[in-house]
Amino acid sequence: MDKFIIKGSSVLSGSVRISGAKNAALPIMAACLLTDEESILHGIPPLSDCLAMKSILESFGAMVIWNPLKQSLIIRPQGIKTCEIPYELATAIRASFLVMGPVLARFGQATLDMPGGCNIGLRPIDLHLKGFAALGAKIDIEHGKTLASAKYLIGDKIYLDFPSVGATENIMMAATLADGLTTIENAATEPEIVDLANFLNTMGANVKGAGTNTIKITGVKHLHGANYTIIPDRIEAGTLMAATAARGGEIFLEDIAGDHLKPVIAKLREMGVDISESANGLRVKSPGFMYLDATEIKTMPHPGFPTDLQAPFTSALALVKGNSIVTETIFENRFMHVPELVKMGANIKIASRSALIEGVECLSGARVMATDLRAGAALVIAAACADGTSEIENIYHIDRGYYKLENKLLNLGVKIERVSIDASIEKVV
CA atoms within 13 A on the CB side of 391: 8
- Residue 382: name the closest of 316, 299, 301, 286 by CA: 316
- For residues 308 and 374, is the Cβ–Cβ distance under 8 A? yes
- For residues 243 and 12, is the Cβ–Cβ distance under 8 A? yes
Contacts with 352 (C-beta within 8 Å, 6 or more apart), sequence order: none
**Three state DSSP letters for the chain:** CEEEEEECCCCEEEEEECCECHHHHHHHHHHHHHCCCCEEEECCCCCHHHHHHHHHHHHHCCEEEEECCCCEEEEEHHHCCCCECCHHHHCCCHHHHHHHHHHHHHHCEEEEECCCCCCCCCCCCHHHHHHHHHCCCEEEEECCEEEEECCCCECCEEECCCCCHHHHHHHHHHHCCCECEEEEECCCCCHHHHHHHHHHHHCCCEEECECECEEEEECCCCCCCCEEECCECHHHHHHHHHHHHHHCEEEEEECCCHHHHHHHHHHHHHHCCEEEEECCEEEEEECCHHHCCCCEEEECCCCCECHHHHHHHHHHHCCCCCEEEEECCCCCCCCCCHHHHHHCCCEEEEECCEEEEECCCCCECCEEECCCHHHHHHHHHHHHHCECEEEEECCHHHHCCCCCHHHHHHHCCCEEEEEEHHHHHHHHC
Indicate which residue of 50, 118, 362, 385 is catalytic: 118
- For residues 32 and 25, is the Cβ–Cβ distance under 8 A? no
- For residues 188 and 301, is the Cβ–Cβ distance under 8 A? yes
Q: Decide if 118 is catalytic.
A: yes
Strand order in the sheet with 214-218: 157-159, 181-185, 214-218, 206-208
Residues annotated catalytic, as ranges? 118
